[in-house]
Structure 1
Amino acid sequence: MDTKALERFARTARRQLHEQVGAKLERVLRTDSAELREQAAALEMLKEEIKEHSKSAVVERVAYTWFNRFCALRFMDANRYTPIGVVSPAAGFTQPEIMQEAKQGHIDDDLPVDRQRVADLLGGRLPARDAQQEAYRLLLVASCNSLHAPMPYLFEPIADYTELLLPDDLLSEASILHAVRETLTTDVCQDEEVIGWLYQFYIA
């Protein structure tokens, strides 16, 4: 395992997530939209967290939370611990397998997600800034929450404001998830120590 590559990735990912989460935080605080009005409770919780701690502390916590989840999900996908690729594409595709399946109308019955909303987004029947990104966000958050019961130590329930600050771009080649997949290859994920190394490099 190339620990130098893991170290470079962890440091770059930390910077990228801080920038994206910070930008998202500023945008949701200054924007008044129908989408955000639907998430008024989450927005109020975010404001309370900022008041109690600080913007930088909230950004740090949320960025770290998503880094952990993205890496853990990639590790699980690569080792087929998940029934479907949550952050990883199936062979021959570029988008995560769970997204490709949702486009075909296939969503696991046990996944705690609003299937109609996902279908309406993907079918163009629901207005959104980026329908595909929004649909994938719903699938990703639902997948994380569904893993809380079997693995509560790794997948704590996602606070509403943490979901609110999820980076906008999760599907392009410039996204953090693309970088996660490029670094955490199937071969790299055969070593169970990889998650521990990433944690050490991220907090260093």
Structure 2
Amino acid sequence: MELIKTSLRNMLETNRKASYIFFIDIIYQIAKRMCYLHDMHIAHCDLKLDNILVNIEEKKVVNKFIEHAIVKVINFGISKIEVSSNPKTIENNHIYGTNVFSFAMVYFKILFKRDPFDDCRRDEILERIERDERPKLPSNCDELTKLIKECWNLNPLHRPKFAKNYERLIIASSTTNSIK
């Protein structure tokens, strides 16, 4: 069994100096893993920082060492299997939509180094979500913040599927390579 050194939560708390591209790659890998699960008709149902493990490796590239993360999604204890084979399609989209919403919260935390609802009490979070209130997003990375907004749409049926998130992250990361 592979030894993974840290959770994404611990990595974010201790590794604040990593590059923007390093973090975009982590988001990309999470989307890729979730896309695979959905292709296999599995809804994770508990995507959060503690259920994402990260190994950081250093690689030498042209006389310079760069860090690269390897991401694993764990804890399938409350996952749903054979989701798409269930005839209740709307409910299936809702289950997958919940994963996409959770992805947006993780995505926000990675990019902006803070919890999405850190300005309110825990018992207020659900009320704010139901009122369609979301944290303010910076305007300096339009495509990425647009994707977050779509992923945390109040209606699960209007959230993009992970395959679409994955494609858009590829495009967004290639157009934002100069952002640090």
TM-score by length of 1: 0.28
- Structure possessing the higher relative contact order (Cα contacts under 8 Å, 6 or more residues apart): 1
More helix by share: 1
Structure showing the higher strand proportion among its residues: 2
